[in-house]
Structure 1
Amino acid sequence: MSKHHHLFISHSWTYGNQYNNLTELLKNRPYFSYSDYSVPRNDPIHTNGTDKELREAIERKIKPCGVIIILAGVYSTYSKWINKEIEIAREYGKPILAIEPWGSEKTSSVVKQAANKIVKWNTESIVAAIRELD
């Protein structure tokens, strides 16, 4: 029986397709079980909450996770929330897995410098890295 992984998948809702593709990829991988602790798109804290409330919500989501996954698209460099997620992950000693988006030529140096491991967009590489870090 394989381990059940508790994952926080960092993402920008502006680039939600990458997040959706990643969760589908993981869901369809045989012999891999996980729970996604990401802040859902329909959570009212995104639109009605303060920065402090959103930070606290992210912190509550990250605390129980074994691995923090960050999509290392170039947009990540300019996201204050992804930077906060990196900061929170470090505070709790959580390993960070950076995934370079499919076909990307430019990726986020901020995310890659924070990562414990960097992989390309490949199911087996991603799953192996999660198992290694968790």
Structure 2
Amino acid sequence: MFEEEMDQRDYHLFITQVAETDEEYQRFTGRLEDAHDFNYENHSDNSLSGCVDIDELKKALKSQITDADLVIVLSGLYPTYKNLIMTVLNLAQEMEKPALLIRPYGMENVPPELEELSKGVIGWSASCIAASIKGLLNDEVDEHCEF
């Protein structure tokens, strides 16, 4: 009789990536696609590889993060791309965009320096990813998804 109202909102996300062929990035965007009742627009692209210095990198990142509501950091990239990940998190703070950390695939812990700069840390469950994004942006908490 009463159907649950569908969420028609498009969530504007910046998702860290090194290349669109990156396995962790592909796995994560696949989970977003699998999430029920969740629409998103990805504002990140892989144009960062052409950046020759930190200023150029910051400018490229800033232009991608500007229209995003939320910054998603795939923390599994951190060991190899520390400067990129820290630059993304620092820009998110400067631009007052909440950051959500995704644990490295198959692991529980994230580096504490990343956790300090984020609003939460979650795993790889499609439903928890969607619920956590909605929760951060709509001031709602899903008790089934641990932050």
Please indicate the TM-score interval, normalised by the length of the shorter structure: 0.7 to 0.9
- Equivalent-residue separation in structure 2 for 1:81 and 1:103 (angstroms): 22
How high is the TM-score relative to the length of structure 2? 0.78
Residue type of the alignment partner of 1:91: E
Residues 85 and 48 (structure 1), Cα distance of their counterparts in 2 relative to 1, 3 Å cut: closer
Which residue of 88, 91, 104 maps to 2:91?
Answer: 88
Larger-Rg structure: 2
How much has 1:62 moved relative to structure 2?
0.6
Deviations 1:99-122 (A, max 9, x none): 112311542222212110111111
Which residue of 14, 26, 35 maps to 1:8?
Answer: 14
Structure with the higher helix share, 1 or 2: 1
Matched, 1:24 2:30: yes
- Equivalent-residue separation in structure 1 for 2:63 and 2:42 (angstroms): 13
How much has 1:38 moved relative to structure 2?
1.2
How high is the TM-score relative to the length of structure 1? 0.85
Deviations 1:35-65 (A, max 9, x none): 111132xx2x523543312210100111111
For 1:120, the equivalent position in structure 2 comes to 123
- Equivalent-residue separation in structure 2 for 1:9 and 1:108 (angstroms): 18
The percentage of aligned residue pairs carrying the same residue is 26
Aligned length: 130
For 1:76, the equivalent position in structure 2 comes to 78
Deviations 1:57-81 (A, max 9, x none): 10011111111001122x5156101
- Equivalent-residue separation in structure 1 for 2:17 and 2:110 (angstroms): 14
Q: Which secondary structure state, in structure 1, belongs to the residue aligned with residue 12 of structure 2?
A: strand
Q: Superposition RMSD on alpha carbons, in Å?
A: 2.2
- Equivalent-residue separation in structure 2 for 1:48 and 1:98 (angstroms): 24
**Between 60-69 and 109-118, the greater mean CA deviation after superposition:** 109-118
For 1:63, the equivalent position in structure 2 comes to 66
Structure 2 unaligned segments of length 5 or more: list them. Answer: 1-6, 138-147
Matched, 1:97 2:100: yes
- Equivalent-residue separation in structure 1 for 2:36 and 2:73 (angstroms): 22
For 2:112, the equivalent position in structure 1 comes to 109
Contact 2:13 2:43 in 1 (8 A): yes
